[in-house]
Amino acid sequence: MPKRILPLSDAQVSKAKPAEKDYKLSDGGGLHLLVTTSGGKLWRFQYRFDGKQKLLALGQYPEISLANARKRREEARTLLANEQDPSEAKKAAKKAEALKDASSFELVAREWFGKNDPVWSPGHALTVMCRLEKDVFPAIGSKPVSEITASDIRTMLLKIEARGAVETATRIKIMCGQVFRYAVATGRLEHDPSAALKSREIFRKREIRHHAAITDPKELAPLLMAIDEYQGTFVVKSALQLTPLLFVRPGELQNMEWSDIDFEEALWSIPAERMKMRQPHLVPLSRQSLSILQGLHPATGHGRYVFTGRGSRPMSNNSINAALRYLGYDSDTVTGHGFRATARTILDEVLGFRVDLIEHQLAHAVRDPNGRAYNRTSFLDDRRQMMQAWADYLYSLKAGVKMPASGVLPLTRKKKALV
C-alpha cells in the first residue's frame, strides 16, 4: 500500500526552517509547501493535465495561510474535474484583470482627452480636465467602463445638480457620453450606458438664461465710463477696455498673443485652435484698440500673452467678469460674453450695418448666396470700416457727443441696411 500522507498542521508550516537544499512538505492532494534555502515558503499544486505533469504556484506563506492554500487547491481540482487547465485559467484571469485595469473610466477618459487636446483651445481643454478631475473621476474613475451603469452615471449627475450646478451636470453628461463612445470605438465597450439618460428627464427644469448684456445705448454709456475709471491692474483694465471694442469671446481675448497682432495692418489674426468653431478669424483693430494695445506693450510685450496673469500664463478666464462685479455690475446685468450681444444689437438696430457683416465679425457661421461658407478675409475692408465706426460710436457715447451725419450714426434708430 502507498504511504499515506498526513495533512500539515499550522505549527509545522510556521516552524519549517530552511536547509542546505530546497525541500517540500506535502499536505496531500497535490498540495505541498516548498521551503527554499533563503527561507521562503511557497505553496505549490502539482497535477497532470493532457498527459503532462504540471505545477501551479498558489502564493507565498504567510500571505497565503494553510487554509487558503487548501482552498486554492480545491478550486484548481474543480477546474481539472471540468477538463480545464488551472495554469491556463490563472493566466486568463491575470489577462482579464490587466484588461480591466486598462479599461478604467479614468484611463479611457485621459486617452480620449489626449486625442482631442491638440485641437481644443487651452481654455476649453482646462475646463474639460477640471470637470473630469473634480466631479467624474472621484465617482466612476476607478471603475472599468464595461461595468459602469446608467444608474452610476445618474447618481453622479444628481449629486452635481444638488449643489446647483445644473449646467455643469448637463455638460458632464455630454462629455461622459463622448468618452463612452470612444471606448466603444476602441473595442472596450459594447454600448454607451449614458445614452439611456435624457437630461430633460433626470434634471429639474430650469430657466434658460443668455449671457447678460446691456443693449440700450443710454445704459451702455455709464458702463463705458466706469470701465475707464477701473482701479484694478493695468492689464485687466486694458482687457476690460478692449472687450466692448472687439466683442470677441472672453477666452479668445484672454489668450491673445502678441505674435498674432499686426500693428502695421491693424489686424489681429486668431488661429483656428483658439476659436470655438475651429476656423481662423480676423479682427480688424480700430485706432482706439491699437492705442490700448500700444499702451500695454511696454508692460507685457516681452512675453507671449498680451494679458499676462501669474507667471507667464494668460490672465484668469474670470478676470473680466470679476472686474465688472468690482465696478458694481452684477451677473444679471452684464457679463464679458454679453458684449457680443451688445455689439450685435446696436450695430444692427442703431447703426444699421449689414447683418452678414456683423455675424461674420462675431465668428458665426455665415454662408454666401450659394450656401458656401465665407473665408476669414471676406468683406475685410467692410469689416474694417464697421469696427472703426463701432469704436467711434462707443467713444462718442462716453463723451456724450452726437456724431455728425457724415460720420457714425447718432443715437437714433435707423432702418436696417439690406443684406
- Contact of 398 with 221, CB cutoff 8 Å: yes
Burial of 360 (0-12, 13-18, 19+ CB in 10 A): buried
Q: From the candidates 41, 73, 237, 337, which is the catalytic residue?
A: 337
Report which secondary-structure segment, H or E, holds 283: strand 281-284
Active site residue 374: yes
Q: Which residue has the cell 447678460?
A: 212
Query: 43 in helix, strand or coil?
Result: strand
What residues form DSSP beta bridges with 262?
267
Spatial distance between the Cα atoms of 186 and 182, rounded to a whole number of angstroms = 6
Q: Are 403 and 409 in contact (CB under 8 A)?
A: yes
DSSP string, 339-394: HHHHHHHHHHHTS---HHHHHHHTT---B-TTSPBP-TTTTHHHHHHHHHHHHHHH
Among the listed residues 188, 249, 274, 344, the single catalytic one is 249
Question: Which position among 77, 374, 376, 395 bears the catalytic label?
Answer: 374
Is 364 a known active-site residue?
yes
276 annotated active-site: yes
Spatial CA neighbour of 281 closest among 240, 320, 312, 247: 247
Q: Is 104 helix (H, G, I), strand (E, B) or coil?
A: strand
Catalytic residue among 276, 354, 376, 384: 276
End-to-end Cα distance, the chain: 107
The set of residues, in sequence order, having a beta carbon less than 8 Å from that of 339 and lying 6+ positions away, is 213, 243, 244, 247
Residues 6+ apart with CB under 8 A from 197: 150, 153, 154, 157, 173
340 tagged catalytic: yes
What is the distance between the alpha carbons of residues 309 and 332, in angstroms, rounded to a whole number?
Answer: 26
**From 41, 131, 340, 360, active-site residue:** 340
Set 278, 364, 402, 414: catalytic member: 364
> Catalytic residue positions?
249, 276, 337, 340, 364, 374
